[in-house]
Amino acid sequence: MSSAASADFKEYLFGPWKIAAEEVFVASPHCFAFVNLKPVVPGHVLVSPKRVVARFAELSPEEVSDLWCLAQRVGSALEPHFGASSLTLAIQDGPQAGQTVPHVHVHILPRKAGDFENNDEVYDAIDAASKDAQAAHSGEKLDLDKERKVRTREEMAAEAAELRTLFK
């Protein structure tokens, strides 16, 4: 990972689920970035605090700062890597906001012209992907659409290894 403070961090949790170290591509003192089980666009990743906290207001000031600094660093690396011209950064804070995993996380999506017919459709896609990922983790039957499929651990590890090279 990217810093000495994160080098001895052994277990990554995303709400109630463990995230394999192979799926994490960069970490900071308080946060980590990992690949998405069901990305909405190529390069759609998540940044989350190491401490499992359901709501944004529960983060310490140090965690808030570190979360956004890591999100900025990740977005700055992903945008050119995926040939994007913009980024969507989004937090769904609470169940009524569409949060399906009770752990604060920032969605980072490299964006290109025309990737959605109506630009705001990206938020519906994030919501649907979050629900599908929750179902995949809990063993529920998934309602998969044709364009996006839940990825294997091997596929996610391969993407994380590729992204890890951007942070050396």
Please, what is the Cα angle at 79 between 73 and 81, to 5 degrees? 100
The CATH number assigned to the domain holding 100 equals: 3.30.428.10
Establish if 10 belongs to a structural domain.
no
Establish if 83 belongs to a structural domain.
yes
The domain tally of the chain equals 1
Residues 118 and 102: their CA atoms lie apart, in Å, by 29
Please, what is the Cα angle at 150 between 143 and 114, to 5 degrees? 90
Residue ranges at the known binding site: 36, 92, 98-101, 107
Active site residue 105: yes
Domain range for residue 108? Answer: 19-134+149-165
Q: How many CA atoms lie within 13 A of 46 on its CB side?
A: 28
Per residue in 48-79, pLDDT (tens digit) is 999 999 999 999 999 999 999 999 999 999 99
Tokens standing for residue 61:
């000031």
Establish if 9 belongs to a structural domain.
no
Q: What percent of the chain has pLDDT over 70?
A: 84
Q: How far is CA 55 from the centre of its chain?
A: 16
Establish if 106 belongs to a structural domain.
yes
Q: What percent of the chain has pLDDT over 90?
A: 73
Establish if 1 belongs to a structural domain.
no
Residue ranges at the known binding site for substrate: 36, 92, 98-101, 107
Per residue in 8-46, pLDDT (tens digit) is 556 899 999 999 999 999 999 999 999 999 999 999 999
Establish if 85 belongs to a structural domain.
yes
Establish if 56 belongs to a structural domain.
yes
CB 150 within 8 A of CB 8: no
Establish if 121 belongs to a structural domain.
yes
Per residue in 122-147, pLDDT (tens digit) is 988 888 877 766 665 555 444 444 45
Question: pLDDT category, 108, cuts 50, 70, 90?
Answer: very high
